[in-house]
With several copies, the nearest count.
Chain A
Amino acid sequence: MDHQSGEGVNIHEFQAKELLRAEGVPIPPGDVATTAEQAEAIARKIGGMVVVKAQVHTGGRGKAGGVKLAKTASEAGQIAGKILGMQINGLTVHQVLVTAAADIASEAYVGIILDRASRKPVFMVSPAGGIDIEEVAAKTPEKIMKLPIDTRYGLQPYQASELGFFLFPDDVKKVRAASKIMMSLYQAFMKHDASLAEINPLVVTPAGEVLALDAKISIDDNALDRHPDLVKLRDETAEEPSEVDARNSSLTFIKLDGNVGCVVNGAGLAMATMDLVKYYGGEPANFLDIGGSSNPEKVVNALRIITGDPSVKVILFNIFGGITRTDDVANGIVTATKANPLRIPIVIRLTGTNEEIAMKILKDNGFSASSDMDEAVQQAVALATKGGKAA
């Protein structure tokens, strides 16, 4: 099950709930707070028992102590004070959601995931909700119903009903309520170009009401251009700073634990380069794809981001010029290192479009370069391991 296919921009639970509420999904009242005082005020307005929930882009908030029940408004304020500023899986909590607590008779899972195998959004529902759906999939797959949706037709009422009967085989009222929620969830999924939209848990109260207690939505990166409203929901404080910096420089960057800093054009070649570093006994410090366009500025930004990581011991460029002009890359290296001289060695592999010009530029500026990938990677790994200096 390839859950997360489609790159996704995560938005916070409270934002996802707003989007679902707008489509008519019943959700207990709540609001977001950045201070203990605000949290207390929200809890007072709601009245009764509330839940205070850390808003961070990571799972396991409950286990980490980021989700707590409060009986009174002042208790809600105290709890919020503790949760705000807390670190969960390396992310600082800047906001909490304060929401009415619901009595729970049963919990179900309802999600839509863009699936590459069927080339469709797939509904996935389970009466075993509240826990990690991947655990359900692994241990009791018969408790999961999957239904691919043909987006030319959209989710049909009969399909929503089939999903509803899978959740509540003996109660047509709950089936109707759940079906309506699934129609709304699908609307939200399509309207916002989501790659994932999840309600977990979907609860039934002792009174028989069906409610969404938690929600998660990821937006397809590629569709953001037509959703300026959703771009604003992106919370950069909830992400790794160097990755935010890279994105703002139009680079794709993921920080890893090794010491060989990699700058590559193309995701496939970038992964193959990392694999080759590992193959020769090294550890990549990152994944970094400068993409196809040959803009010296990107190279400058890439170098800045990589050298910002103190664990990086060597920089490895691997550029195969197709659309990317290797002379542009060479110029970028020269410009960046003139402005900020490197304190660690650099290994450059360049081949393809304008290779001769690039080689000359590098040579004129005191760099050497190889046109062989294996050779370059071996050299970089050697430098990272033993220390030393190239260029």
Chain B
Amino acid sequence: MSIFIDRNSTVIVQGITGRDGSFHTKQMIEYGTRIVGGVTPGKGGQKFDGSVPVFNTVHEAVKATGANTSVIYVPPMYAADAIMEAADAGIAFIVAITEGVPVNDMTRVHPFVKEKGARLLGPNCPGLITPGQSKVGIIPGRICTPGSIGVVSRSGTLTYEVVYQLTRAGMGQSTCVGIGGDPINGTSFIDCLAAFEADPHTSAVAMMGEIGGTDEQEAAEFVRTRMKKPVVGFIAGQTAPPGRRMGHAGAIISGSAGTAAEKLESFEQAGMGIARRPIEFVEQLRARM
């Protein structure tokens, strides 16, 4: 079917009455996502957009709606608290869109979410979309089309670019996931690859990495040892100078680790296809399916 979300996902929006929250809630509803409630402390009892009930706390929202998914649009200094509130209230899948969450906050949030048995996607991510069924986050719905390619990426607009190319080429997607570029995030490449491998409706995976860190190398090792489905990879930042930051915290090269060359080398060793340009995903995937 898909990974993480489908037509049955029941979603609440934390920060539903905020600027970004309200805009994207409307977009999600329009796309068909089952938005069952929203949370804004002090606005409990109101209706968003005339129909979506608003609650003061996530606990109340979950109790009243039975939601299993939450998407977070609260300001960065409140994001860690919002994630923990969702996990504590029993939300199983939490998508944190918020950009600029202090990294130290995430060192506590990560084990908390794990202890509660929840899955966190993000923060600082565009969310995810299962085309034709549900979108949770901010990925533009009209660039996607249902199909069998799983897409996973560390960046936002680059994901859109690739998905757009795939759609134009007639290659639909099972689920497109943006895991976010922060140093500490909830869901890794490997988590997504494992889910795609287990999903009967995914036949191949497009993976977009960046310079910095070793997540892509670990993902490649996972592909090599644990996956049967074909995976095509791309690394952004081949021309970035070492040691300078590039907007994402993850997009850094330091010393010998985390270079594009190193990552592409690991892709090759894992037998993955390599897209040198975004557009090459199409031919590389086609060649392997």
Contacts and interface: CB of A to CB of B under 8 A. Distances in A.
B240 A322 contact: no
Interface in A182-205: 190, 193, 195
A153 B108 contact: yes
Interface string A2-33: 11111100000000000000000000000000
A268 interface: yes
Given A275-B239, A373-B279, 14 more contacts: A6-B249, A117-B213, A151-B108, A152-B108, A162-B57, A175-B41, A195-B103, A220-B104, A254-B244, A268-B210, A274-B239, A275-B237, A275-B277, A352-B143
B223 to A, nearest CB: 18
Given A158-B84, A252-B247, A268 B155 contact: yes
A119 interface: yes
A2 B161 contact: no
27 contacts: A5-B254, A119-B107, A119-B110, A138-B255, A151-B104, A157-B81, A158-B82, A158-B88, A161-B56, A169-B56, A172-B41, A172-B42, A220-B104, A264-B157, A268-B153, A268-B251, A271-B158, A271-B211, A271-B239, A275-B237, A278-B239, A287-B246, A320-B160, A320-B164, A321-B140, A322-B156, A352-B143
Contacts of A254: 241, 244-246
A270 B85 contact: no
Contacts of A278: 238-239
B240 A116 contact: no
B54 interface: no
A162 B160 contact: no
Contacts of A158: 57-58, 81-82, 84-85, 88
B89 to A, nearest CB: 9
Contacts of B41: 161, 165, 172, 175
A142 interface: no
A208 B157 CA distance: 48
Secondary structure of the A contact surface, majority rule: mixed
Contacts of B200: none
B18 to A, nearest CB: 13
Interface of A: 1-7, 114, 116-117, 119-121, 134, 137-138, 150-153, 156-159, 161-162, 165, 169, 172, 175, 190, 193, 195, 220-223, 225-226, 252, 254, 256, 264-272, 274-279, 284, 287, 289, 292, 320-324, 351-353, 373-374
Contact of B102 (A226, A275, A373): A226
Interface string B71-103: 000001110011011001000000000011111
Contacts of B66: none
Nearest to A151: B107
Contacts of B211: 271
B7 interface: no
B11 interface: no
A134 B211 CA distance: 19
Contacts of B104: 114, 121, 151, 190, 193, 220, 223
A157 B79 CA distance: 11
B251 A271 contact: yes
A351 B167 CA distance: 14
Nearest to B154: A268
Contacts of A279: 276-277
B159 A268 contact: yes
Interface residues of B, number: 78
Contacts, number: 216
A376 B127 CA distance: 28
A7 B81 contact: no
B208 interface: yes
Interface string B176-213: 00000101100000000000000000000000101111
A122 B260 CA distance: 24
A292 B99 CA distance: 10
B158 A269 contact: yes
Contacts of A268: 153-159, 181, 208, 210, 236, 248, 251
A4 B257 CA distance: 12
A292 B240 CA distance: 21
Contacts of B249: 5-7
Given A158-B82, A276-B277, A322-B138, A267 B111 contact: no
Contacts of A351: 164
A279 B260 CA distance: 14
B26 interface: no
B143 A114 contact: no
Interface in B205-238: 208, 210-215, 234, 236-238
B278 interface: yes
A175 B60 CA distance: 15
Nearest to A287: B246
Contacts of B208: 268
B87 to A, nearest CB: 10
A322 B183 contact: no
B139 A165 contact: no
Contact of B254 (A2, A220, A374): A2
Contact of A275 (B58, B108, B236): B236
B252 A2 contact: yes
A192 B222 CA distance: 37
Contacts of B247: 252, 266-267, 270, 287, 289
B106 interface: yes
Contacts of A1: 254-255, 257
A4 B258 CA distance: 11
Interface in B151-176: 153-161, 164
